[in-house]
Structure 1
Amino acid sequence: MPRPKSDIDNFQDEIIARWSVGESIDDIFEYLTTEIAIGKRTLERRLSEWQLFRYQSRTTITPDILDKIRYLTFHHGYKDVSIIRDLGREGIHLSPRALQFVRLKHGIKRRYRTDEERNEVLAQARRFIENHSTHSTSVRSYGRSYLYNFVRSQAGLLVGKNRIYQIYKEIYPEEVQQRRRATWINRTDFQVPGPNFLWSLDGYAKLADFGFQIYGCIDAYSRLIIWIYVGRSATTAISTLKQYLRTILTAGVRPCFTRADHGVETPLWAGAQATLADQDQSVITYKDEQGVVHQHRQGTRLSSVHLMGPSTRNIKIESWWRLFRSGSTDRWIAFKSELINNGLFIPNDKCDQIAVYAIYGPILRKEFAEFVQIWNSHTIRKQKTRPHVRPGIPYDLYNTDVDADWGFPIKEGAKSYEAAKIMYSAVENIEIDDFMTPETTDWCEEQLEIIGYNGMLNANEDQIRPHLQIYLELRDIVRYHVISGEAPHLELIQPPTGGTEAYIQLLDLLRNNHPVFANENLRGDEIPQEIAQGIQGIQEEDYYINDE
């Protein structure tokens, strides 16, 4: 005769979840006594009947695993199903109930059940925004969606969009009045089949006359920003080659196709993309509209892996630049224009530029990195009128297991990895990240400390013209020092130069030193017309977000 069902059976899933992540019998028993009347012997008997002692594996929740769960929850904005997927790829296997238990036990919450909890989190969010505004003005450009993602990823706080925006309106009422709604063109067309199928690359020149050149790369499927570069040399081929090579070596993958304009910065990294494709004899298989299977072979032929075209048709990255401007650079464009128009900053003047880099270089890099993080972890919503727009979080979409990853691995031991390392060795010691020589940077930091600069925004004037008086004071100190001829000698880092000729020289060097580069013949097929037309037809509405 079967045992009569006990109240404990209603808690089987919860008990198994707690057992699987290392909860002791005493801890589980203590939990159950708050829910039902039960004896410890009954619990032990049920654990034995469910064969947990014999078969159920247990995962020890270490501090590293907790940090990973916390990071994916707040930094990436992941739901539990995506957290379980990423943990599983690292050999950490949790059930949905077990993950939920771990999160709640350690305060990694998405909802707050009591008014006391809710009010405390709102107070923390207010303090975070107010404290952040003493260091940076970036939050003033954020609307409801960007603000929500910013607070979640940077402060580790999940507060409803309306609640957090109400705090923002109380702190910055004048900014709310000035916000504009974005507009878009409603079109539909080609969908990218999966992550790493197409990377779209381009430069952003709106701050170039302020000394800041920007270059970025976006994955067309997920809309994840693969990298963004802020420095002195985004428009030189050597710089973009180094950016590309260190990215694919760090990520361990190269895209199937790339898309860029005809700029002078493109040939080197596009050539590297083709060279790497040739090393592993890359082949992709696809079906046309009639269902016929085709194979496309990639190789050293540039047109087998790369699409050239004007910037205005490089929609994926061009559309993102518009959002980047409204969310991050508009204030800086207005500020640098005011400085230039009033003669307070002269482009290409060494003294002015040194002062700008010393004060604003770290600030811009931090703010732009924050905006990229917000973008990569924000939610692109499903839209009825545009069914081709793929909803989701860019981080999550890029790591999806629903659609195939079209990237080609760049892993140690493969010919492509060896080739990438050789090419990178030729540019590894070329400086592209520092604005100034180390001696100049150190000297400027000493001067800023002497004049009392601590990075804080102290007055209302600083909110519109950040650190203007500090900049003017440092600029005069720099100019006096340069005129005096005293040590140290202040100098900017010169952008690396080189274009197609440099790439040819690099290939000659590689051919002479490594057999994998010995074949002179171009290999690879032209990108099929149906794929090329589809990529060219990608439209900009994928990027619309009503960040009111």
Structure 2
Amino acid sequence: MDDMDELIKKYFKLGYSQVEIAATLTSRYNINLSVRQLQRELQRLELYRHKNQTDMAQVRRFIERQLQASGELHGYRWMHHKLLQAGMVASRETVRRTLLELDPDGVNLRKRRRLVRRRYSGRGPNFVWHLDAMDKLKPFGIGISGCIDGFSRKIIWLEANSTTNDPEYIGGFFLKAVDRLGGCPTLVRSDRGTENGHVGAFQRFLRHHDDALGGDKSYLTGRSTANQRIESWWGQLRKQCTEFWRTLFRWLLEEGFFTGDVMDKELIRFVFMKHIQGDLDAVAEVWDGHLIRKSKQEHVTHGRPLLMFQLPEVYGTRDHLKPVEQERIDLCREECNFKDRFPCDRELFEYCCQSLITNGWEDPRNPEAAMNLYINLREHVRREIGV
């Protein structure tokens, strides 16, 4: 009973409808509840969409906190979904009006932007994975690697790292996803960069299946700009996350607190990497649970990315994940590098940790505190090493 309650709470918080929750419980967890039974469970757990509205002052404080970080880039639909995931209850209209009151300039800026999408269709989840790197923060020492499922648009991975040029790390992200899902996609699509070399080799090795798209045919390359699924999603990430950090780092550059040398990049990684990764995780969670509205293009499937990925039969298709032997995964793992707990050079990491203790500096909990720590730590390190 406790497990079922937690699952109901989880998918309710993700914004799933009652029909979607019931279908997910049945298909993924073998918990058979009719919609009527689910309604009774929701009442028992006091989970309501319109009753027990969260106090307006609390909603306002939540939105104000979001606007102090990358949340300043969010539209009202995205902000409403984050609010639901935080366990609060408020209407979308309430969020829209609050955003308009607190951030009128941001609302007007978002209204002016229009995105024209190219045509795309996918056969089902795990038929094609699209992977690429985003380099908007690369001048400041942080690269972002991402992969998205072509059919459902679910995020397969989204990782901040010190580099997006090392094929061993990109291969590690790919292999970790394959291991987690228990198989590899039918096809992988990337650009021709050498950083994707290990992924291409792994995919061909794992896709030894005797079918028309097996082996060498299972890995596709082309121009990065033509890899439209992930290229289109980078626009979402920029609007919801990275533009905030890019603006912050540009301020450090313009004020003379960042020169682009190795030391400054390492300190950026030490201070900001976990905050950026936390932001990426939050964006991926909201994206996977949000509702993609029906498109004018009839062939484009609409729904929630996570639901389309997990329950393809609801959308008239099937999962195209290919089974992989564990022995082959283990062989590939020997050629990979995986992220560890050190976001920067290990010796510098340990030195900076000790400096925080010595100077009584606290671990920053928000971007403003992180920026202040970076400035103080930079001055301290450069003074100590005589740079």
TM-score of the aligned structures, taking structure 2 as reference length: 0.90
Matches within 5 A, 1:157-196: 157-185=88-116, 187-188=118-119, 190-196=120-126
Q: What's the RMSD between the two structures over aligned residues?
A: 2.4
Cα distance per residue 1:75-116 (max 9 Å; x no partner): 3x222233223322323222211111111211222222xxxx
Unaligned runs of 5+ in 1: 1-61, 284-295, 411-415, 485-548
Match of 2:308 among 397, 403, 409: 397
User: Is 1:333 paired with 2:246?
Assistant: yes
User: Is 1:423 paired with 2:332?
Assistant: yes
Matches within 5 A, 1:353-372: 353-372=265-284
Tell me the SS of whatever aligns to 2:380.
Answer: helix
- Look up the match of 1:311: 224
Unaligned runs of 5+ in 2: none
Amino acid aligned to 1:389:
V
Aligned-pair CA distance for 1:359: 2.1
Match of 2:23 among 56, 77, 85: 85
Amino acid aligned to 1:238:
E
Tell me the SS of whatever aligns to 1:202.
Answer: strand
Amino acid aligned to 1:420:
I
CA distance in structure 2 between the partners assigned to 1:128 and 1:66 by the alignment: 26
Instruction: Tell me the percent identity.
Output: 26
Matches within 5 A, 1:119-268: 120-132=54-66, 137-153=69-85, 155-185=86-116, 187-188=118-119, 190-268=120-198
Which protein has the bigger helix share?
2
Structure 1 stretches (4+) deviating beyond 4 angstroms?
430-433
Aligned-pair CA distance for 1:237: 0.8
Tell me the SS of whatever aligns to 1:405.
Answer: coil
Aligned-pair CA distance for 1:425: 3.6
Amino acid aligned to 2:258:
F
CA distance in structure 2 between the partners assigned to 1:331 and 1:186 by the alignment: 24
Q: Is the 8 A contact 1:186 1:386 kept in 2?
A: no
Amino acid aligned to 1:127:
R
CA distance in structure 2 between the partners assigned to 1:341 and 1:171 by the alignment: 28
* Distance of aligned partners of 1:99 and 1:193 in 2 relative to their CA distance in 1, 3 Å threshold: same
Tell me the SS of whatever aligns to 1:233.
Answer: coil
- Look up the match of 1:66: 5
* Distance of aligned partners of 1:318 and 1:132 in 2 relative to their CA distance in 1, 3 Å threshold: closer
Q: Is the 8 A contact 1:231 1:434 kept in 2?
A: no
TM-score of the aligned structures, taking structure 1 as reference length: 0.65
Match of 2:214 among 289, 298, 307: 298
CA distance in structure 2 between the partners assigned to 1:223 and 1:389 by the alignment: 11
CA distance in structure 1 between the partners assigned to 2:173 and 2:118 by the alignment: 33
Tell me the SS of whatever aligns to 1:266.
Answer: helix
CA distance in structure 1 between the partners assigned to 2:157 and 2:177 by the alignment: 8
Aligned-pair CA distance for 1:375: 1.3
- Look up the match of 1:440: 348
Q: Is the 8 A contact 2:192 2:223 kept in 1?
A: yes
Aligned-pair CA distance for 1:373: 1.4
Tell me the SS of whatever aligns to 2:157.
Answer: strand
Figure out how many residues of one structure are paired with residues of the other and give that number: 382
Cα distance per residue 1:387-409 (max 9 Å; x no partner): 23321111111112231111113
Aligned-pair CA distance for 1:131: 4.6
Tell me the SS of whatever aligns to 1:441.
Answer: helix
- Look up the match of 1:529: none
CA distance in structure 2 between the partners assigned to 1:275 and 1:142 by the alignment: 41
CA distance in structure 2 between the partners assigned to 1:67 and 1:121 by the alignment: 24
* Distance of aligned partners of 1:468 and 1:378 in 2 relative to their CA distance in 1, 3 Å threshold: same
